[in-house]
Structure 1
Amino acid sequence: MKPLVALLALATLGAANQPGVRSEAFGTRTDGRAVQRHILVNARGMTVELMDHGAAIVRIAVPDGKGGAVDVVPAPVDLAGLLASNRRYGAIVGRYAGRLRGEVTIDGTRYPLATNASGVTLHGGDPGFDRAAWVPRSFATRDAVGLVFTHVSPDGDQGFPGKLTIEARYTLARDSDTLTLDITATADRPTVANLTNHVYFNLAGQGSVACHVLRVDADRRVELDARKLPTGRLVPVRGTASDFTRDRPLAPVLQAGGMDEMLVLSGSRTARLTDPASGRMLAVTTDQPGLQVFTGNAFDGADRDRAGRPIARHAAIALEPGHFADSPAIPAFPSTRVAPGKPLRWHAAWRFGRVAPAAAACTP
């Protein structure tokens, strides 16, 4: 038995349907590296599946209250489907999640970055952290089970200066339907970094998220220019299509083309997503300054979920905590500088619950 497999096997706390961690082969990358799937189960029957490739969440099944569970994370069923897609399903994105203007300047030195046809750097460039082979380590405590993934991004990776060492710790609570992710990144010289997780949700398990209801503790958004780069202004959302300060169904937003906006978090820094028909609820809480709300506008049915259904336009919503796009170029924005003695720290919690089911008050 290979050392890593042996280590993970020893960490297994029970059989497939028992609380604990187990790992199994999930396929092989195009570079020949084996990929494992790691399955976390808690005492309530909630299941979280993670994979080494991209340190990604590939499945979350939450108890349905009837002795079963519902998968609320639309994604391809196998590694081949995940590798073939450019949707970054459930993966950790970096070195810089969001858009940059094709370069960064750090301590007076300019570093050019790879750009797309619009002259914009998206998520740091390709390949990013979502394509990396992360190294896993399982753990178990009295209150939780989980996986720690590590990845080392060398000096010059994606054009950024400095070696960045990243640790991503997924923790599934034993006695509540709560998954947390804590990311720490340390650098050996000054650089910039902005990480997030790109998981998509559909609390109904299938279909459109049009009848989902969203509320976000955010009264401003990051204003964008024609290239979707920040202008530097944080503008009020009150009375606009981006106003989710109170519960609002997503249907009107989707009918207008969908949403891809960075909201400026305040107060409790929490977003609450509800599917009224099933009564499922998700609360996302973070310590980051912003939340990118993306309604799966580019899904085109080319990818298929575990049941073989096309993942169609607006089949899921991503709620991505992080810093603002192009922050290194805008001094008024919260800093994304990482340096020796100044690590990046990122936290998010996904807490699932239930509300009283109600008839959908919207038209998908």
Structure 2
Amino acid sequence: MMPERAEFGRLPSGVPVEVVTLRGAGGFAARVLTFGATLQALLVPGRDGLSDVVAGHDTLDGYLAGRNFFGATIGRYANRISGGRFGLDGAAITLPTNNGPHTLHGGPEGFDRQLWEVAEVAAAPEPRLVLRRLSPAGEGGFPGALDTRVSFAVTGDAELSVRFEARSTAPTVVNLTNHSFFHLGGGGGDVLAHRLRIAASRYLPTDATLIPLGAPAPVDGTPFDFRQAHPIGGRIREADEQLLRAQGYDHNFCLDGWDGTLREAARLEDPASGRAMTLLTDRPGLQFYSGNFLDGSVAGKGGRPLRQSDALCLEPQDWPDAPNRPDYPSTRLDPGDTYRHSIAYRFSRLPT
């Protein structure tokens, strides 16, 4: 069966935005927008039937009205770059800032605000959509023209794989991810009872502006120890300086045993709905964000306001501010090389 294509809306310029639906087994389905290469919906079976487990909007107007990153492809650089600047081959690179003094998620007009073109649509056994965007040299302040492709594919009965590839015409830095907000119960409450396991014995503490302070710190004996599954809300109100700064979790976890191969980074479970999600990645970091800054001012699907901890993000990526940290894994991309990043979201049911 070929993926289904339809118009989702039109940009103010009149250019149409498409929605492409990829289907798996038992009703499992992913809906992807060409605007922002956005995962608009992800329908997953559970004890309560099918539920949409990602936050977003029902119409294009919701995505155009504000920049909330719901389900979007993030680039050219996910997370923060301190002071909106870094050095590269002796040159001082300056970026527009959009997060206090820092550059966040590619700056004011990142990949999430761009229209992508459909490069390929493929049928079963692995329904797939490939989107492409050519980012011109200097866009967002980043060197080099960046030819980027992101593919969404149903790679199992209830598994969605997202793969990124990018090539540059000049030395640059790249860090791409998907920014879905998850609630495995489909919404209607917070995610604090979700249980989370992260394969990381270290994390990056941050300053008051959420820039890493330096070397990774051990999670042992802290609220950041998710090496065994733990309810997200179990320690989120502790008087921990790092939790107070971020108003919850908004930190990079340094994944254990990173070797560039696809491996399990986290597992999220919702005892109420019986859904579980195993997340795999081949990048060295995972940003866990507990929805701290959702404040009810933005309405999601069905017009429901999204409030603090109504959804969470697990963003596989390279480490934040790595262009300014030679001791972190490098995010440099040179001409002739290819940046690659694979993510798999693998869903299952908890035993009754």
Q: Could you state the TM-score of these two structures normalised by the residue count of structure 1?
A: 0.89
Q: Counterpart of 2:109 in 1: which secondary structure?
A: coil
Contact residue 47 and residue 60 of structure 1 kept, 8 A: yes
1:316-350 alpha-carbon deviations (Å, 9 max, x no partner): 01000000111111111111001112221111000
**What is the aligned partner in structure 2 of residue 266 from structure 1?**
256
**What is the aligned partner in structure 2 of residue 85 from structure 1?**
66
Alignment partner of 1:115 is 2:102: no
Q: How big is the shift at 1:312?
A: 1.4
Counterpart-to-counterpart distance in 1, 2:55 and 2:72: 13
Counterpart-to-counterpart distance in 2, 1:300 and 1:138: 38
Q: How big is the shift at 1:232?
A: 2.3
Counterpart-to-counterpart distance in 2, 1:305 and 1:193: 30
Alignment partner of 1:56 is 2:38: yes
Q: Aligned letter for 1:199?
A: S
Cα distance 1:133–1:264, how it changes in 2: closer, same or farther (>3 A)? same
Alignment partner of 1:127 is 2:109: yes
Q: Aligned letter for 1:80?
A: D
Q: How big is the shift at 1:65?
A: 5.4
Counterpart-to-counterpart distance in 1, 2:8 and 2:126: 24
Residues 136-145 or 181-190, more deviating = 136-145
1:33-64 alpha-carbon deviations (Å, 9 max, x no partner): 21011111123320100000000001000123
Contact residue 254 and residue 295 of structure 1 kept, 8 A: no
Q: 1:353 aligns with which of 342, 345, 348?
A: 348
Q: Counterpart of 1:158 in 2: which secondary structure?
A: helix
Q: Counterpart of 1:231 in 2: which secondary structure?
A: coil
Q: Aligned letter for 1:124?
A: G
**What is the aligned partner in structure 2 of residue 362 from structure 1?**
none
Counterpart-to-counterpart distance in 2, 1:50 and 1:117: 27
Contact residue 218 and residue 269 of structure 1 kept, 8 A: no
Q: Counterpart of 2:201 in 1: which secondary structure?
A: strand
Contact residue 76 and residue 303 of structure 1 kept, 8 A: no
Residues 230-239 or 52-61, more deviating = 230-239
Q: Aligned letter for 2:272?
A: A
Give unpaired runs (5+ residues) of structure 2: 239-246, 258-262
Q: Aligned letter for 2:181?
A: Y
Q: How big is the shift at 1:255?
A: 3.5
Give unpaired runs (5+ residues) of structure 1: 1-12, 14-19, 358-364
Q: Counterpart of 1:233 in 2: which secondary structure?
A: coil
Counterpart-to-counterpart distance in 1, 2:218 and 2:336: 35
Counterpart-to-counterpart distance in 1, 2:237 and 2:173: 37
Contact residue 284 and residue 351 of structure 1 kept, 8 A: yes
Q: Could you state the TM-score of these two structures normalised by the residue count of structure 2?
A: 0.92
Alignment partner of 1:214 is 2:214: no
Counterpart-to-counterpart distance in 2, 1:99 and 1:226: 13
1:9-52 alpha-carbon deviations (Å, 9 max, x no partner): xxxx3xxxxxx411111111233321011111123320100000
Counterpart-to-counterpart distance in 2, 1:124 and 1:74: 21
Q: 2:127 aligns with which of 136, 145, 149?
A: 145
Q: 2:136 aligns with which of 148, 151, 154?
A: 154
Alignment partner of 1:303 is 2:276: no
Counterpart-to-counterpart distance in 1, 2:302 and 2:236: 24
Alpha-carbon RMSD = 1.6
**What is the aligned partner in structure 2 of residue 200 from structure 1?**
181
Q: 2:320 aligns with which of 325, 333, 336?
A: 325
The runs of at least 4 consecutive aligned structure 1 residues that moved more than 6 Å come to none
